Amino acid sequence: MSQATRILLALVLGIGIGMLAVTLDKTWAMRATGVTQPIGEAWLHALQMVIVPLIVGLLVTGIAATAEAAKAGRIAGRAVVLFVVVLWGTTLMSAAMMPILLDLWPLPDAWSQALRAALTGAPTMGKVPTLADFFNTIVPTNVVAAAAGDAFLPLTVFTLAFAFAITRLETDSRRRLTDLFQSITDAMLVIIGWVLRLAPVGIFALAYGVGARTGAAAFGALVHYIVLVSSIGFVVLLAGYLVARFGGGVPFVAFARAVAPAQAVAISTQSSLASLPAMLKGSAEIGVAPATAGIVLPVAVAIFRATSPAMNLAVALYVAHWLGVAIGPGQLAAGVATAAITTMGSVSLPGTISFFASVAPVAFAMGVPIEALGLLVAVETVPDLFRTVGNVTMDVAVTSVVGRRTEGRGADGRGGGG
């Protein structure tokens, strides 16, 4: 049995046993949450303790990889610029679209109230930050205090400045620092691997409390979450076709035919890296020179996750809706900036690890509690399919745009003469 299956089974059993226990003896069942809740929270805290060093390490190494790619030549430089444009574009799309989806299909009030009561640490309503608050706090006065206080946006701003400063150092100094942060990142991933081995226990403990307090509302809310967050990934996937058509000059049908094999591999493996050979073949079919695709696609697989910022922000916005946290302009701006910036650090991480490493900073930046993430990671398999397929589709689409700009291909997607 795979770890993802064990985690999902623990979620279902936890909620189910919690519901059954309340039916048999409500007093005893609720008393048992006094044991299960601390176990689940301890597991969440174990994940939370590595987020700050992990994000700092990933950002430094991610910026280093991006800078090296940009220096590698004109083609790679164009690709990196386009990556950044797409990442910010999809993030802004999510910021606009997710609230609309939640308005059109809100979580039923009864479910929302029950779930809110089931999760400890839900915030009390306070002052909603404004845009002025956002700009007042974006630059840290004390980076250590920012890290200690889980102020991820100012911490990210400092880390970005630090990472770009490293890229300006002499080669030996740059490599020493990059290697140091790579080692820190690797060590944090080892710790996360240890913690995730206990995920079935931690998720079962959290799910039991939710099932005991909410009943069937928990299952309905998880289905609601899967559909809405996956919808954001699907929109990014569709945007890939538009990018290929209007940016790369590739007809819709031709692009769909060329990218379909890579999408099939992505669905079966949930890995962009495993889809790389099919992406290279598909790019050739739409007229991108092998030399161009051979530069752009490996860089894309390494540092470009088109769906990540949009879906990470969508998760944070969903949890805010779930817990009744009002999101003002300042919080939304902080979430958009954090989601778009930290994405470059999400290189080659397994889905379960990247879920916490990518979503938690966005949630922290927006003032959204992360207790719900312990349950949502158990159903991440379905949204992760949309993440991977959307990433693969956009990788090929961006490659078609770079190929057109580099090789002067015509509107039919084929190389021009002369």
Which of 89-98, 190-199, 201-210, 358-367: highest mean pLDDT? Answer: 89-98
What is the residue extent of each domain of the chain? 3-407
Mean pLDDT (whole number) for 335-359 = 73
Instruction: With a cut of 70, say whether residue 11 has pLDDT above it.
Output: yes
Beta-carbon count within 10 A of 27 CB? 8
Instruction: With a cut of 70, say whether residue 251 has pLDDT above it.
Output: yes
Alpha helices in 286-350 (DSSP H): 290-303, 308-323, 329-342
| pLDDT tier, 349 (very low <50, low <70, confident <90, very high otherwise) | low
| pLDDT tier, 252 (very low <50, low <70, confident <90, very high otherwise) | very high
* Architecture (CATH level 2) of domain 3-407: Orthogonal Bundle (1.10)
Q: What is the pLDDT of residue 134?
A: 59
Instruction: Give the dihedral sign, CA 401/406/411/414.
Output: negative
Mean pLDDT of the chain: 83
- State the first-to-last Cα distance of the chain, in angstroms, to the nearest integer: 57
Alpha-carbon gap, residue 53 to 341, rounded angstroms? 16
Of 180 and 50, more confident:
180
Instruction: With a cut of 60, say whether residue 415 has pLDDT above it.
Output: no
SS3 191: helix
Q: What is the pLDDT of residue 416?
A: 41
Residue type, position 153, single letter: L
pTM for the predicted model, two decimal places:
0.80
Residue type, position 241, single letter: Y
Q: What is the pLDDT of residue 392?
A: 94
Give the DSSP letter of residue 127: P
- Percent of the chain whose pLDDT exceeds 70: 88
Q: What is the pLDDT of residue 122?
A: 44
Q: What is the pLDDT of residue 63?
A: 79
Lookup: tokens for 409 = 């291909």
Instruction: With a cut of 90, say whether residue 239 has pLDDT above it.
Output: yes
Lookup: tokens for 282 = 């598909």
| Residues in Cβ contact with 372 at an 8 Å cutoff, skipping those fewer than 6 apart | 115, 119, 319, 322, 323
User: pLDDT tens for residues 140-167?
Assistant: 777 888 777 767 778 878 888 888 899 8
Instruction: With a cut of 60, say whether residue 404 has pLDDT above it.
Output: yes
Instruction: With a cut of 90, say whether residue 408 has pLDDT above it.
Output: no
Burial pattern 358-391, b for ≥16 Cβ within 10 A else e, equals bbbbbbbbbbbbbbbbbbbbbbbbbbbbbbbbbb
Of 80 and 134, more confident:
80
User: pLDDT tens for residues 274-318?
Assistant: 888 899 999 999 999 888 888 888 888 877 889 999 999 999 999
